Structure 1
Amino acid sequence: MISTATDTALQRLLDDGRARAATVDPHHVHLWDALVAATEGGKRFRPAMVTATHEALGGTHPDAAAEVGAAVELLHTAFVIHDDVIDDDHVRRGRPNVSGTFRARGQDLGAEDGGAGYGLTAAILAGDLALSAAVRAVALCGAEPLVVRHLLDLFDVALHTTAAGELSDVRLTLEPGTVTLDESLRMEEQKTSAYSFALPLQAGAVLAGADATTTARLGEAGRALGVAFQLVDDLIGVFGDPDRTGKSATCDLRTRKQTPLLVHARSSDQWDAIRGYVGRDLDDAELDEVRALLSSSGSRTFVEELAEQHLAEARSVLADLGIALDVVDAVTVRPPTVVDGSEVAA
């Protein structure tokens, strides 16, 4: 899905970082290698959206677009690594993530805590390095100074918004009985839409010299796309097959994530039966049971339809602007197949 130019730009950024790491310390090279591994295996639709939007709006700076696309992917890597720290997850895409890799190293070194502290330290530092590399890539992308400043402003807004969303994601788990659907959707919009969709769409527009109105409307489309994407991800986080998606099917329930799926379930007449499966580890049989309850309660269908509504809103804005992005359909309309063999509506 990623263009060759953006793929090349990302690889160059990673190689340059490894070269700098090698001048510091051999153990630091291991850390950078774990960061590089964290960039592998994803769909990389974010950089594709930068370059596709730039091209669709008649942009003439493909090299800068490729660099900024690579920066967006590094920003995503930073958030993924830090998100795993927040969720205490040590596996990503079916293999040990940064914390999992260094936890094992710590264990081999005889750490009294089984390597947990070493893994946590490595993940925080790797995420910081990816974040720094992303901002540096934007600053050195080769665009005109005023364009670079506008891009850095977009990245800054995305960083602040995503941080607010991640904090809200955790805070809402502390208030599970009072979270409203609007609060849940707002949290999902902040933690996903800003950097995964609004940022790449708007960055591509800025690089193409688009006017302020077009750039703002692309932000609206990004917001709607991000919510649709996150709603689909919520469904995969309960109904997905971990062997196929690389995502845990119990983490969201165990950590009481106040997703729209769970918020809706709390308002259903089956909540008394569902609530016993929330906030604890589940075995396979229990997971099947709560999946059935979330389906029969109407919560799964509600989220599917809500995702489709947001996707339709985004498509309408993009159509008005005359922008056709195949990546939109590829990412949000064809999510990984869920365990019962059907696909999520969005």
Structure 2
Amino acid sequence: MTSLGTESLPDLALARMLDTGRARAQLTDPEHARLWDALAAATEGGKRFRPALLVATHDALGGSQPAAAAEVGAAVELLHTAFVIHDDVIDGDHLRRGRLNVSGVFRDGALAAGADSDEAIVYGRTAAILAGDLALAAAVRAVATCRAPAAAVHQLMDLFDSALHTTAAGELADVRFSVDPTPVTLPESLLMAEQKTSAYSFALPLQAGAVLAGADEGTRDRLGATGRVLGIAFQLTDDLIGVFGDPNRSGKSATSDLRTRKQTLLLVHAQSTPEWPRIAGYVGRDLSADELVEVQGLLTACGSRAFVEALVEGHLVSARAALDEHGIPVAPIELLSTRSAVLMDGREVAA
């Protein structure tokens, strides 16, 4: 970090939160301290657009609480880390952004210590669940102690609570849809995409920045709606990367969504096309590199990829206009546009 400007304040706040947790852990147990080390590593490598969006909103709306905005921005990033860690547990993944995640680190550590494979997997999963819990608790505590006026803190806690409920509902629906034989409709899949990502990644930072700036309820509501539009675009782009992306560049498996029958809009749309009987044979099992190329071709030929890409672009256009109305920089939208563009070239970026 080379600057102490406003843009770096959330990073500094996040570092303080992690240092505080690590110091408490060291007083408890060495293995617990390792858990905080793994948690800190899990926060690395992202684009930090969530705290940047919160701070940009606060500043654009004339806010005068940069320190509180930085604290809450860091809390949003820590909340994101908690969800990412738990999401990897749900999906049974041991890699994130091209390297071992929390469960992977502790699984390999257990293997090195002599545990058998099943025992090591259980230990890694346990560590990841606990690390996610710790991150979640630290995020909520940071909001409660951000030193904003009491009324603002109360509103922020309500926003975080709402985001938690919505995201949990989306994650549960994601898994439920993959195991329920009942066909998923396009509106159901789109709602799931909105719930999984929009609430905490976009609506929350936009509305939290507005609260800290003292914006009126109407402005907060409009920004919440804009966040939901942005979140859908982000999640749909992530779903595309989850099938068409290069794992070496995106850090995301290109077969996991197909293997676990994720009912993304991409697959739900494909189920409505004549090519679905052929595509279905590639879903719900491990795929070779050649098979992945084959199903990618089918999903492109049937129009499902183009359908999702068109939705992404439409949502980005709408969100860009809404943010411009409030004078909020559109850097997060440009990030999404970049993700979409590099996806076309097979060069994904982690976020």
TM-score by length of 1: 0.96
**Equivalent position of 1:260 in the other structure:** 265
Give the one of 283, 294, 309 matched to 2:314. Answer: 309
Distance 1:343 1:18 in 2: 33
Structure 1, 303-312 or 284-293: larger mean CA deviation: 303-312
Which amino acid in the other structure matches residue 66 of structure 1?
A: A
In the other structure, the counterpart of 1:299 is 304
1:270 maps to what in 2?
275
> Which whole-Å CA distance do the structure 2 matches of 1:37 and 1:326 have between them?
25
Per-residue deviation, residues 131-175 of structure 1 (Å, max 9, x unmatched): 000000001111011111100100000000000000000001123
Q: How does 1:1-346 map to 2 (within 5 A)?
A: 3-112=7-116, 113-330=118-335, 332-335=336-339, 337-338=342-343, 340-341=345-346
**C-alpha separation in 2, matches of 1:341 and 1:197:** 26
Q: Deviations over 1:221-279 (max 9, x none)?
A: 00000000001000000000000000000000000000000001111111111010000
Please, what is the CA RMSD of the aligned residues? 1.6
Deviation at 1:114, TM superposition (A): 4.8
Secondary structure of 1:64's aligned partner: helix
**How far 1:318 moved relative to its partner?**
1.9
Structure 1: how far apart are the matches of 2:135 and 2:61? 29
Gaps of 5+ in 1: none
Shift of 1:106: 1.5
Contact 2:94 2:101 in 1 (8 A): yes
Against the structure 1 CA distance between its residues 18 and 341, is the aligned structure 2 distance closer, same or farther, given a 3 Å change threshold?
Answer: closer
Deviations 1:14-39 (A, max 9, x none): 11111111111111000110000000
The number of residue pairs the alignment matches comes to 343
Q: Is the 8 A contact 2:249 2:347 kept in 1?
A: no
Q: Partner amino acid for 2:147? A: G
Give the match's secondary structure for 1:334.
helix
Cα deviations by residue, 1:64-105 (Å, 9 ceiling, x for unpaired): 000000000000000000000000000001111000011111
Write the deviation string for residues 22-65 of structure 1: whole angstroms up to 9, x where unpaired. Answer: 11111100011000000001111101011010001010000000
SS in 2 for 1:308: helix
Question: Counterparts of 1:76 and 1:8 in 2: how far apart (Å)?
Answer: 17
Contact 1:241/1:339, CA 8 A, preserved across alignment: no
